[in-house]
Structure 1
Amino acid sequence: MSKGEGKLIAQNKKAHHDYFIEETYEAGIVLQGTEIKSIRAGRANLKDAFARVEKGEVFLHNMHISPYEQGNRYNHEPLRTRKLLLHRREINKLIGATKEQGYSLVPLKLYIKNGFAKVLIGLGKGKKKYDKREDLKRKEAKREIERAFQQKQKGIY
């Protein structure tokens, strides 16, 4: 299996809109008992999440995992900070990259692979407003070409 394969639980759709993703890393997550049950039920959200390197370890902040319905007193805090599991050389590479101006760690996908929850994090450089506009123009032009091509295939032209 390559990176990003498995049962997709959550995806950060705004990440590619707001960042130029240059590299991706697959990381495991340290979870509590009821968190994995909620993730398997598909009750996780990466919308405002971000990762940060602190004291030689990578942590995921603001990822929302809803409390498990049958969790009673053992339930977890939905927005707690979670540790990501990466190899030392990957962490060292990320430390060097995030020290550069404008680079951040953005979670792209949350998925289950071989029974374990994994996060695909991307090393991204923030886009400026004009970059976002350019992407929207490019996407719209591609959509127009596809529409014209399909109409020509159907014989409408």
Structure 2
Amino acid sequence: MVRPQSAQFDKKKVVAENRRARFDYHIEDTVEAGIALTGTEVKSLRFGEGSIAESYAEVKNGEVWLINSNVPEFSHGNRYNHEPKRPRKLLLHAREVDRFTGAVERKGMTLVPLSVYFNSRGRAKVELALAKGKNVADKRQTIKDRDWKREQARIMRDRG
């Protein structure tokens, strides 16, 4: 029996966040995925280094891969250091991979990483979102909504 997951994942230490993704995409579904990392990559992430700003995920041969994520080399890694921008395998259940494969094949859907973090057990995880790209008009509306909420907060703070 599958245990239901909460909507908010247990994020103990957030390493990298893709804040631009929520502006550029309509987020439809999120899932927590593990990452297959080498030792020096884990050490580098524990020091808070790493970026997923321009990364994405793609499905190849029934596996999901994180492409273009940057985990810089570990300073004390010697010859055992890793390649900073190598593709990293994401660990998902076969059912989730099948669901993502079907959604990505539809028009406009993409897999976008929202954040990289360590959970309460100390495991590196990626919050992966199934998203659809926004057009320019949607982005303008998002900016208008954000500015109006900021103005509302300013008015409430001044009057109350």
Q: TM-score range by the shorter chain?
A: over 0.9
Deviation at 1:91, TM superposition (A): 0.6
Partner deviation per Cα, 1:106-134 (whole Å, 9 max, x = no partner): 00000001111000000000000110000
Tell me the amino acid that sits aligned with residue 83 of structure 2: E
Q: Distance in 2 between matches of 1:95 and 1:126?
A: 17
Partner deviation per Cα, 1:23-68 (whole Å, 9 max, x = no partner): 0010000001100000000110011110000010000000000100
Partner of 1:151: 158
Tell me the amino acid that sits aligned with residue 85 of structure 2: L
2:98 aligned to 89, 92, 97, which one?
92
Spell out the pairing of 1:23-102 with structure 2 (5 A cutoff): 23-102=29-108
Identity score, percent: 45
SS in 2 for 1:150: helix
Deviation at 1:4, TM superposition (A): 5.0
1:115 aligned to 103, 118, 122, which one?
122
Runs of at least 5 residues in structure 1 that lack an aligned partner in the other structure: none
Deviation at 1:104, TM superposition (A): 0.2
Partner deviation per Cα, 1:51-88 (whole Å, 9 max, x = no partner): 00001000000000010000011000000000000011
More strand by share: 1
Deviation at 1:150, TM superposition (A): 0.3
Paired residue total: 153
Q: Distance in 1 between matches of 2:127 and 2:73?
A: 22
- Larger Cα-atom Rg: 1
Q: Distance in 1 between matches of 2:155 and 2:9?
A: 34
SS in 1 for 2:19: coil
User: Does the 8 A contact of 1:4 with 1:111 survive in 2?
Assistant: no
Tell me the amino acid that sits aligned with residue 47 of structure 1: A
TM-score with structure 1 setting the length: 0.95
Poorly superposed stretches of 4+, deviation over 6 Å: none
Q: Distance in 2 between matches of 1:47 and 1:10?
A: 8
